[in-house]
Amino acid sequence: MREAPGVGLAAPQIGKSLQLAVIEDRAGYISDLSEDELAKRQRAAIPFHVIINPKLTILDKSTAQFFEGCLSLEGYQAIVDRALNVRVECLNERAEEVTINARGWYARILQHEIDHLNGTLYIDRMHSRTLTTTDNMLKFWQSKSIDDVLAELEGDSK
């Protein structure tokens, strides 16, 4: 996960049939983002932790769309709509019950990793016309708003 670099890895991604994922969004991963971008994504550093047998609850109807990638499909990204506010009840690495209330980017990471545990990839949730290589996303779409990208790629339909 760290070598990629990535912010999460689920056991099924490495061939393990376990309801377990690890998550970490290091400060170094976000140090190049502007304050505006950090605020827009509601993103902050997240310390390394383990989630086991997670139960995800969407707390409200608010969502956000951003480009998302995955270590299972390295080199590609697409726009995915995710809930902004979630609760995850799970066990930690010491088999202690924990409840995580997450917002923004952290909520996105949790949903992405829990999807893996349920056999779902981001490409199952993406806006299909937005699938692109990471290189092309950086070259053509990085400086544009998600609404502008969707309008150009999907002909104004979301």
Q: Is residue 1 included in any domain, yes or no?
A: no
Q: Is 80 inside any structural domain?
A: yes
% of the chain surpassing 90 pLDDT: 84
154: annotated active-site residue: no
The reply to whether 134 falls in a domain is yes
Radius of gyration of the chain measured on its C-alpha atoms: 15
- The CA-atom distances, in angstroms, between 128 and each of 14, 81, 100, 112, 150 are 26, 12, 30, 17, 10
Question: Residue 155: its pLDDT value, please?
Answer: 72
Catalytic residue among 89, 93, 113, 152: 113
Q: Which domain holds residue 55?
A: 8-154
What's the CATH number where 50 sits?
Answer: 3.90.45.10
How many domains in the chain?
Answer: 1
- Cα angle vertex 156, ends 151, 158, to 5°? 90
Query: Which pLDDT score, from 0 to 100, does residue 83 have?
Result: 98
Closest Cα partner for 30 from 83, 96, 106, 84?
Answer: 106
Give a yes or no: residue 3 inside a domain: no
Task: Answer whether residue 131 is part of any domain.
Answer: yes
Domain annotation covers residue 112: yes
Residue 85 lies in a domain: yes
Q: What is residue 156's predicted lDDT score, i.e. its pLDDT? A: 52
- pLDDT tens sequence across 90-134: 999 999 999 999 999 999 999 999 999 999 999 999 999 999 999
| pLDDT > 90? residue 9 | yes
Averaged confidence pLDDT in the chain:
94
95 occurs within a structural domain? yes
Question: Residue 108's closest CA among 146, 80, 133?
Answer: 80
